[in-house]
Structure 1
Amino acid sequence: MLGPLRVAAGGTELELTSPLSRTFLALLVLNAGRQVTLSAFADALWGAELPQNPRRAVQLCAVRVRAQLDRIGAGDIVATCPDGYRLDVPPNATDLGGVANLLREADAAAEPEGELAVVTAALGLWRGEPLADVPSEELQREVAPGLREKRLRLLERRVDILLRRGSAAELVDELVTLTARHPLREGFCGQLMQALHHCGRRGEALDAYHRFRRRLSDEFGVDPSESMRTLHAAILAGRPDEDRGTELTRLPVPRQLPASAAAFSGRKGELAELDGLLTVMHGSSGPVIGVVTGTAGVGKTTLAVHWARRVADEFVDGQLFADLRGYHPGQALSPDRVQARFLRTLGVRAEDIPTETDELTAMFRSTIDGRRLLMVLDNANSADQVRPLLPGGPGCLAVVTSRDALLSLIAIEGANRIDLELFDMAEARELLARRLGSERLAVESQAADDIIAASARLPLALAIAAARAVIDRGTPLSALAEQLREGLDAFDTASDLTDVRAVFSWSYRALSPDGARMLRLLGLHPGPHLTVPAAASLGGLPAKTAGKLLDELVRANLVIEPVPGRFALHDLMREYALELVSAEEPEADRDRAVRRVLDHYLHNGYAATAVIDPMLTGEGPGDALPEVLLEEMADHDAAMDWLTAEQEVLVSILDWAADAGFDRQVWELVWVLVPFFDRLGNSAQCLSCMEAALKAGERLGEPLMQARAHRGLGNLHFRAAREADADRHLETALKLYRGDGDLVGEAHVEMALAAFREHQGRHPEALEHALRALELHERLGDAGSHANALNSVACCYVQVGQHDLALEHGRQALAAFRELKAPDAETAALDTIGEAYQRSGRFAEAIDSFQEAIRLARQVGNRFYTAQSLDNLGDTYLAMGDRTAAHDAWSQAEAILDELQHPAVGRVRVKLAEVDA
């Protein structure tokens, strides 16, 4: 197949003159050992121009091909199947199978020389363009590109081995040719850069990068990947040596699979089906997808994780795992949130991740393209939830688990379905034997069978029953089986869920009264997991009591502890807990529990935010209910740790609150999340939260809420260089504030507009806005806001050349910030004062001010402020004639801005180039 189609047997080659015969045989070879349906043949042979009777036409074609193969004694290799035909040859009888075998040998090679020999042999199997003389539009469109891609990857792998071996000089000419033929292929460009750099041709390596970057920008409007930028930065800085060169483009290798069940039982047939996916993957030109489907509690996740851990070493670029929470009572995880999480795991910085869905999907597919990844997408509720997360190229395998059959994924994406049924008796006994011991089962064999019957052979139900038997070792199994039988009235053989409810009810009745109440209330928690303090607030209990109750639930296998200190309900148990709390807790008590848990996250979140940045303005939530546990936020690190640990819960609660109509709480949660995500540089999450705030304000009919949300959106769009959107939101905010007579809000928007107009170069307008903000804040009397306005006015005076007024206002701002103990703001004021000194020719004083700003910014970890003051310090040194000191300051600024991917890095690089000239 890897060239014009060739068929030979016993040394005799068959000449195939018929285009239809070549296409028919090509499709068989591509699926060697597997049935090809009549409809698939028809599509490949005729496309949309089907003959009047396609089935009969395919059958006639098969007759002709068999007759031709008979001429070389091979007519019997085309076997007839119920709905098509199959080529009965071993995989290594085709060159495609040969390549797959050689790739496995290469992956297993212990030494680079052995790997190189096998890769070279695989490349030698190509005789030209694959399927070169097969006139099938479908095969040329769907198959040939994948085969070409496979060869290119082998070429890249061979070059990588040779680069590691130190053969850079011999590779340069070959890589120049390859990059000319494939100018948009990042792998070849990166390898050419490495080879040139290792040969001492640094300038040519950098030029290769810039040509590649320009072509990407011109044709697609995108930048090179982070790994290419890292390689470029390393070459620019004059490193690494030859031994380290190949490490530069090595990307993170995620290992996200959860632990496998300690007592995994049965499922031999299903494991074999999953193993078959690996075989398919090795000969496939695209990704392979498996869908594990079955009822709730049947063990889909357990099977997928156990199998994935068995084969993890096959996937050298790592394994990704996500619980999509498709049947969670709150909002299921959207594909874009999972894409963003995976991108961060794969080394993409949060601030580089697009906010637009199409751009995010494109970046995700580009990032995983060419990698050998295993993805486990657990608990999906629909094909649409999964589809954007699927890999697009060969070498990847995705396993999806779902209660839904996901038929469209099977029909459109060609996913392979693995149906997971209830345990048979042998598998159920194996589970009990692993958990309880063979001796105990042998003594009470009939009782074990009774437990299996009562548990309906559902793995989750059996696990819970077994856990109870482990805890109560002194209780005979017959007594436990009798207890199960007491709940038979609740059993309904038509529903697996009803069966599980019976088992749950038995375990539930065994709990202490307080433990049972805690289980019920956990069904109301909207997040994916919770801590002991959150459970204490939910139950209105002391933390010590809540911790003991959670431990009781974990021991009973009703609650899981996925990581130490965090607790969660299995989906099925959550459904059961919701039924219980609805049936057994009065509505007023349920409402109060929900209010307590919302208060827990709101008040603790606000406390953490206030510790991180005391200059943040805005009213916090109202008084918390007295039973809410307020956690200690001892210092900046403790506050950041709390927010970092709870961010997924907070986002889930935000989504749930929006769906449930808790608009006031949505509004309040946003002002916990936005400052946190803003500090992380996660603009996508900031934008999403702010849009949720705007919708909440609109639903509540609160103009001031809408105004503040518009103000926040305006600032976010301003920072993202979306000037039209920024202008629209800020002007809307100003109109709303003025219409409501809110001077505080108006002052904040005036400040934002001052910064925006200054960025646009409209300095007189910026000064007008800043002076209006200062006037308002003087009247309002808030010390922090007044200090910010003073610094804004000072900045604007610098830009219009009124340096004495700039110094006067800047010094007042600095004194106020020091009084307020606001080091971030103090750094900004020092930078403004330094710039005023520099513009007025007082260079020594400017240098002192900038250096103090840099020291303080580094102390509080504000990297952008550090770079900004270093940039200004370099300008001052240059104005004094000290080019060396200027170069040093700008180099430090460039390194920080480049890592932050801030647009200002271009301006600093121009300065460096000019001072070097």
Structure 2
Amino acid sequence: MPDPDGRESSANTATGPPGGVAFGVLGPLRIAAGGTELELTSPRSRIFTALLVLNPGRQVTLSAFADALWGEELPQNPRRAVQLCAVRVRAQLDRIGAGDLVVTCPDGYRLDVPPEATDIGALADLLREADAAAAGGDAERELAAVAAALELWRGEPLADVPSEALQREAAPGLRERHLQLLERRIEILLHGGGTAELVDELVDLTARHPLREGLSGQLMQALHHCGRRGEALEVYHRFRRRLSDEFGVEPSESIRELHAAILAGRQDDDHGGEPLRLPVPRQLPASAAAFSGRKRELAELDELLTVMHGSSGPVVGVVTGTAGVGKTTLAVHWARRVADEFVDGQLFADLRGYHPGQALPPDRVQARFLRTLGVRAEDLPTEPDELTALFRSTIDGRRLLIVLDNANSADQVRPLLPSGPGCLTVVTSRDALLSLIATDGASRVDLDLFDMAEARELLARRLGAERLAVEPQAADDLIAASARLPLALAIAAARAVIDRSASLSALAGQLREGLDAFGTDSDLTDVRAVFSWSYRALSPGAARMLRLLGLHPGPHLSASAAASLGGLPVPEAGTLLCELTQANLVTEPVPGRFALHDLMREYAVELVSADESEDDRDRAVRRLLDHYLHNGYAAVTVIDPMLTGEAPQDVLPGVCLEEIADHDAAMNWIASEQDALLSIMDWASDAGFDRQAWQLVWVLVPFFGLQSNTAQLLRCMDAALKAGERLGEPLMQARAHRGLGNAYFRAARNEEADRHFALALALYRDTGDLVGEAHVAMGLSAFREQQGRHPEALEHALRALELHERLGDPGSHANALNSVACCYIQVGQHELALDHARRALAAFRTMKAPNAESAALDTIGDAHQGLRQFPEAIDSYQEAVRQARLAGNHFYIARSLDNLGDAYHAAGDRTAARDAWHQAGTILDELQHPAAARVRDKLAQAGE
């Protein structure tokens, strides 16, 4: 019989039109068939259809429709009004051939589709699949099902369905289900170890849901896993404060246990089912491929582990023995064997105690370790005592293995020792370090020459037992000729591996003849003959390369640096380095970088002095200097042309000029070469190449400045000052004092900053250098602004502007204009600020300098903000962000986004403000910048 709407009731379940119809409410209402989207323009039609979609295949009563459609304000005849809605919806569904899917029931209507035709039904199916996968321990399949379920969401559920009842009763449950799925996906990824990529997402989620404990706990885990323990603890304290302030309650026991685990720096997989996996540094070099013997010494090192387990303090072992006896090989092999005992990681440093250049000072090692453990460069103190205190505080409570290789004294080691239990430190040294043993309770492991059994075992591993069995006496002769010194024996074995056609007897005879030729008594006595024997077997090109490597003062070098040293093409240099590496005369501690053992370096120095003419040595050294100067200058020019120093002279023939295509390549080049650059800078100063040392400073300063590495900035500026003093160049001295002033004020050491700025200003004025005076004025302006002395800052900025106007340098003049504009804003002169910033922007645009344009646009935005001209401020900040993106300056992007959020908020657009602040906070978190906390506070105050 006909139903009240004039339709025949259907007794069978409809399957829909050919191709099927899809319905969705996980976002705006969606109706689609065969690629056609049907839009219901009537609000009541959307409410009626949404209620059907929420209950696929089930009857929805007339009273439920009435409540959803009208709430308490019912029409005069609710039943008839609902029927009219059904008629309208069917008519609109008929446009895609789906009107029959709305079926009349005795007391309402039913959407006659299988559940999977709706996103609600598909969601239920995927959740069942995820649960089944979890029960079977199949994390990959569970993750795939959860990810597919999350993809069903197209936005806020029921976003365009204006029903108070549905928004009150249905939408919150759907939002909660979405959050539960997000937490489930993140939990699976945390269990799988994928954390770094989750941090940004979790920062955003916790900002939007600050009271959701599960997300805060997951963010704590992800940060802790990434080595950002301090930030993880900050997340907990922020969550706890908000919970206490708003509800007067404490966090659950689960998250409190997680907080305690992170505070102690330990790994804990049992805190409410949430995994805690702290990412750990793994700095140990590769173990020797043919390690042999040393059973007694390994047992003594094992004893240190036993002591550590029962100790209330740190444990230290000192491996001592002569040069070339295998101290590093033993320490690294043992450390790798027990690495799993140290859940918070392993740290390694070559202290270069017997390197002919400068030994590595403890503060540089501390800074390196701290950066590895997640401390930002700008948070590193410059005072040694403060740095030591921070280092010990950071590693306190962690279970770390620290290997300090090649130490020359107890004083070099002591600041690097932990102060609490759970850590074990192994030190290698040619000296016994008796004061470390007496004062710090270190255990001593003496390493002697191989005994015959150990030496035979090494040869058997390298040459094969069969080859030794054929000529057992010759093998013993090789051992005797190598004096049972592991380094010498390894080189002899390498020679035997390379020359497989030669008998061991012949090789032993050659080596014995070489040994008889030496009668001196030094560290090299035991190995010089082996070095000489292996050296004579090299190709002429490889032999020359080995000699020239003795001229390189750094700890390691790249193939391209070796090419410049030898005046060779890079492929040829790479081939020669490969030959030297196969002969065990050169090591490759990390791929692409090559180094010499200290004894081999001494031997190479002897060779280059004896076999290369003074002119050839001089040319090689100058090519090496040119390599670092020209490539470094090219890298700095890409990073920021306005930060470069004095350009080097024309490059010498034979120098390898590397391709440095973009900002990332430039930063990577200097990062990989920084140790070599610092060594070259120190060596150039000592060798009388003061001008080159000065130029190298300005290669390093921009890099360390971007890293906010104040300690290295001060070291470089001090080297620049000494070079200027030795050269008797007042302007060099003035620039170095100016650089020291800038570095000290960034380190908040105001007295030193004032002193160096004053010295720089006096030198510039004595020499009549207005350019230098103007730069000092700019530095003083920034310094006074940081101190809150805004009128003085403006005075210095105006002086800089006056000087730059007279000098006519467009870039410096534009910088001064922007600096003056910033100062005018601080003293409330916003119209004047706007005028100066616009002039700066015009100049920067002429120079096509997007980084500087971004800075000027940001200043213009600040001025508009001060004038309460919010639309203009918003436009300026948006353009500042765009220019900063072009320049790749992430901090400038975040700064302008932060300011953009302020402008939106002041203009009353809180949604846009929160979005801008979210973006700014995400970038600042990536940069580990302290401003991130201020942005998070804004989000919290905005109700996120």
TM-score with structure 1 setting the length: 0.72
- Compared CA separation, residues 200 and 448, structure 1 to 2 (3 A): closer
What is the CA-CA distance between 1:484 and the residue it aligns to? Answer: 0.8
Q: CA RMSD in A?
A: 3.2
Structure 1 residues 517 and 617 mapped into 2: Cα distance closer, same or farther (>3 Å)? closer
1:318 corresponds to which of 328, 336, 345:
345
Q: Which moved more, 1:781-790 or 1:403-412?
A: 781-790
User: What is the CA–CA distance in structure 1 between the aligned matches of 2:490 and 2:415, rounded to whole Å?
Assistant: 34
Cross-structure match for 1:748:
775
Aligned pairs (5 A) from 1:291-370: 291-370=318-397
Q: What aligned pairs does 1:648-797 form with structure 2 within 5 A after superposition?
A: 648-797=675-824
CA distance in 2 between counterparts of 1:273 and 1:639 reads 46
Of 598, 602, 616, which residue of structure 2 is paired with 1:575? 602
Q: Secondary structure at the match of 1:321?
A: strand
Q: How does 1:45-84 map to 2 (within 5 A)?
A: none
CA contact (8 A) 1:784 1:817 kept: yes
2:603 paired with 1:599: no
The match for 2:438 among 399, 406, 411 is 411
Please say if residues 211 and 239 of structure 2, whose CA atoms lie closer than 8 Å, have aligned partners that are also in contact: no
- 1:50-79 Cα distance to aligned partner (Å, 9 max, x none): xxxxxxxxxxxxxxxxxxxxxxxxxxxxxx
Contact 1:227 1:251 in 2 (8 A): no
Q: Which residue among 521, 533, 537 is the counterpart of 2:564?
A: 537
Could you tell me whether the CA contact under 8 Å between 2:542 and 2:577 is conserved in 1?
Answer: yes
Distance, in Å, in 1 between the alignment partners of 2:813 and 2:558 is 40
The verdict on how the C-alpha distance between 1:316 and 1:877 changes in structure 2, with shifts beyond 3 A counting, is: closer
Q: Deviations over 1:232-286 (max 9, x none)?
A: 3566799999689568666431121111111111111111111121222222222
Give the superposition deviation at 1:634: 1.6
Alpha carbons of 1:429 and 1:708: their partners in 2 closer, same or farther (altered >3 Å)?
same
Q: Is residue 924–residue 932 contact of structure 2 (8 Å, CA) maintained in 1?
A: yes
Quote the offset at 1:830 in angstroms: 0.3
SS in 1 for 2:840: helix
State the Cα deviation string for residues 434-473 of structure 1 (Å, max 9, x = none): 1111111111111111111111111111111111111111
Paired residues of 2:283 and 2:347 also in contact (CA < 8 A)? yes
The Cα of 1:875 is off from its aligned counterpart by: 3.9
Report deviation, 1:820: 2.0
Deviation track 1:361-408 (CA, whole Å, cap 9, x = no partner) reads: 001111111222111111111111111111222222111111111111
Q: State the distance in 2 between where 1:914 and 1:312 align.
A: 46
Q: 1:894 to 1:240 in 2, by over 3 A?
A: farther
2:549 maps to which of 515, 522, 525 = 522
Equivalent residue for 1:423? 450
Point out the more displaced range, 431-440 or 777-786: 777-786
- Go from structure 1 to structure 2 and tell me whether the alpha carbon gap of 1:200 and 1:557 turns closer, same or farther (over 3 Å shift): closer
SS in 1 for 2:406: strand
Which residue is 1:274 aligned to? 301
Q: Distance in 2 between matches of 1:629 and 1:708?
A: 30
Question: Distance between the aligned counterparts of 1:201 and 1:536, measured in 2?
Answer: 56
> What displacement does 1:227 show?
4.3
Structure 2 counterparts to residues 51-130 of structure 1, below 5 A: none
CA offset at residue 614 of structure 1?
2.2
CA distance in 1, matches of 2:527, 2:727: 42
Per-residue CA deviations over 1:829-866 (Å, capped at 9, x if unaligned) read 00111122222332211110012112333454434323
SS at match of 1:320: strand
Structure 1 residue 760 displacement after superposition: 3.6
2:881 pairs with one of 854, 858, 861: 854
**1:462 counterpart (478, 485, 489):** 489
Which of 389, 392, 402 is residue 429 of structure 2 equivalent to? 402
1:478 aligns with 2:505: yes
Matched, 1:383 2:413: no
Q: What CA distance in whole angstroms lies between the structure 2 residues aligned with 1:377 and 1:288?
A: 13
Residue 734 of structure 1 aligns to a residue whose secondary structure is helix
Residue in 2 that maps onto 1:157 = none
Aligned residues: 707
Equivalent of 1:560 in 578, 582, 587: 587
CA 550–718 in structure 1, closer or farther in 2 if over 3 Å, else same: same
Give 1:783's aligned amino acid: P
Range that drifts further, 306-315 or 684-693? 684-693
| Alignment-mate amino acid for residue 406 of structure 1 | L
Q: How far apart are the structure 2 equivalents of 1:909 and 1:480?
A: 71
TM-score scaled by length of structure 2: 0.70
Structure 2 letter corresponding to 1:274: L
- Secondary structure of 2:357's counterpart equals coil
CA–CA distance in structure 2, aligned partners of residues 913 and 457 of structure 1? 69
Instruction: Answer yes or no: is 1:830 the counterpart of 2:857.
Output: yes
Residue in structure 2 matching 1:433, options 457, 460, 463: 460
Contact 1:490 1:499 in 2 (8 A): no
Q: CA deviation at 1:616?
A: 2.4
Deviation sequence 1:317-345 (CA, Å, 0-9, x none): 21111111111111111111111111112
- CA distance in 2 between partners of 1:403 and 1:686 (Å): 32
Give 3-state SS (helix, strand or coil) of 2:594's partner.
strand
Which residue number corresponds to residue 287 of structure 1? 314
Is the 8 Å Cα contact of residues 644 and 702 (structure 2) preserved in structure 1?
no
For 1:896-915, list aligned pairs within 5 A: none
Change (3 A) 1:828 1:237: farther
Q: Is the 8 A contact 1:764 1:800 kept in 2?
A: yes
Among all aligned residue pairs of Structure 1 and Structure 2, give the percentage whose two residues are the same amino acid: 78
Establish whether residue 634 from structure 1 lines up as the match of residue 661 from structure 2. yes
Distance 1:739 1:270 in 2: 66
- Letter of the 2:233 counterpart: M
Q: Is the 8 A contact 1:605 1:672 kept in 2?
A: yes
Label 1:290 to 1:760 Cα distance change in 2 as closer, same or farther (>3 A): closer
Is 1:609 the equivalent of 2:636?
A: yes
Residue ranges of structure 2 left out of the alignment (5+ in a row): 1-186, 188-209, 217-227, 244-250, 264-276
CA contact (8 A) 1:312 1:319 kept: yes
Whether the aligned pair in 2 keeps the contact of 1:321 and 1:377 (CA below 8 Å) is yes
1:229 aligns with 2:256: no
1:139-218 aligned within 5 A: none
Tell me how far 1:749 sits from its aligned partner.
Answer: 1.2
SS of alignment partner, residue 784 of structure 2:
helix
Distance 1:427 1:495, change over 3 A: farther
Q: What SS does structure 2 have at the residue aligned with 1:487?
A: helix
CA deviation map 1:735-789 (0-9, x unaligned): 1111111121111112222223333444443333223222322332322212212
Greater mean alpha carbon deviation, residues 817-826 or residues 297-306 = 817-826
Matched, 1:264 2:291: yes
The answer to whether the 8 A contact 2:547-2:605 is kept is: yes
Distance 2:362 2:813 in 1: 43
For residues 490 and 442 of structure 2, the distance between their equivalents in structure 1, rounded to whole angstroms, comes to: 30
Q: Secondary structure at the match of 2:642?
A: coil
Q: Given the superposition, is the C-alpha separation of residues 774 and 457 from structure 1 closer, same or farther in structure 2, using an over 3 Å criterion?
A: same
Q: CA deviation at 1:874?
A: 3.9
Describe the SS at the equivalent of 1:260.
Answer: coil
Quote the Cα distance in structure 1 between the aligned partners of 2:242 and 2:574. Answer: 53
Q: Which has the larger radius of gyration?
A: 2
Equivalent-residue separation in structure 1 for 2:936 and 2:558 (angstroms): 48
